[in-house]
Amino acid sequence: MNSPNEGQEKMDNMGLLKQQASGCAPGCDCHGTGSSGRIRWILGVIVLLAAATLVARAVVKDHRTSTEPAVPAFTPLAPAATADSQSPPSPGEAAEAKEASVGKSIGAFSELNTVAAASDAVLVYVPGKKGSSGNPPSTPMKDAASRIESQGYKVALFTLETGSRDYEQIKAQMSVPGVLAMVKGRGTSVVSGDITETKLIQGFVAASSCGPAGCGPAGCGPAGCGPTGSK
């Protein structure tokens, strides 16, 4: 038989269990306060880290955008012509220009950054005034382009259309007919007089030696991108 003390102890233990049960309903985590706090703290840290990562990515992207170098382009030699400043050539003038052209025809130097985007350099034939005699230097231009390309460059040939705004401006700065040797991201050199393959290559080398901001048909100072005329 159980002693009175043992019975009293069991009753006291049962009362303690009931008291605990009444303060903690089924399904409640009465003793998990510390664990829940740690979980909330961990989730807060994760959110902060995610936000910091997004901010860092945005800063890096803005920095890259502001520091990316500009794509090299051909130095413009004349202001871009507007549509109103050019009148369409007559059928006879168009046929004459096509016959006297080398490569593709352009109406403005600004077109080169589109039509010659894949080229490292261009040779642009600037014809003589309308009605002047003389054949375009097709052979020396093609031979010079082939020689330059054998050194790893890509060269395109063009003819500036007579009567265009850029033509009227450039013929006042150089002797026509002539050829402009233009190197992307560098400068321009003029070849006039007796246009030969050798002089065209010399013009390309001179244009390559110029800085991106300082060359033009009239030359570029002591470093020298001046006209390569006949001697």
DSSP string, 21-54: HHHS-TT--TT-HHHHHHHHHHHHHHHHHHHHHH
Q: CA-to-CA distance for 218 and 147, rounded, in angstroms?
A: 26
pLDDT tens readout for residues 23-65: 555 545 555 555 677 777 787 778 777 777 776 666 555 555 4
Helix (H) or strand (E) holding 62: helix 33-67
Helix (H) or strand (E) holding 6: helix 4-23
According to the model, what pLDDT value does residue 49 have? 76
Length of the chain, please? 231
The residue that leads in pLDDT, 46 or 217, is: 46
Q: Given a cut of 50, is residue 121 above it in pLDDT? A: yes
The per-residue pLDDT of the chain, averaged, comes to: 73
Q: Given a cut of 70, is residue 84 above it in pLDDT? A: no
Q: Does domain 83-186 have CATH number 2.30.30?
A: no
Check if the beta carbon of residue 183 is closer than 8 Å to that of residue 121.
yes
Predicted TM-score (pTM) of this structure: 0.58
Lowest-confidence segment of 30-34, 77-81, 98-102, 150-154 by average pLDDT: 77-81
Contacts of 41 (CB under 8 A, 6+ apart): none
> What CA dihedral angle connects 131, 199, 101 and 154, to 10 degrees?
-160
Q: For the chain, give me the number of helices (H) and strands (E)?
A: 7, 5
Indicate the residue type of 122.
V
Q: How confident is the model at residue 153 (pLDDT cuts 50, 70, 90)?
A: very high
Percent of the chain with pLDDT over 90: 38
Q: Provide the residue ranges of all domains of the chain, joining segments of one domain with +.
A: 83-186
Contacts of 182 (CB under 8 A, 6+ apart): 74, 75, 112, 121, 122, 123, 124, 188, 207
- Partner residues linked to 181 by β-bridges: 123, 189
Q: CA-to-CA distance for 96 and 34, rounded, in angstroms?
A: 92
Contacts of 230 (CB under 8 A, 6+ apart): 192, 193, 194
Check if the beta carbon of residue 107 is closer than 8 Å to that of residue 166.
yes
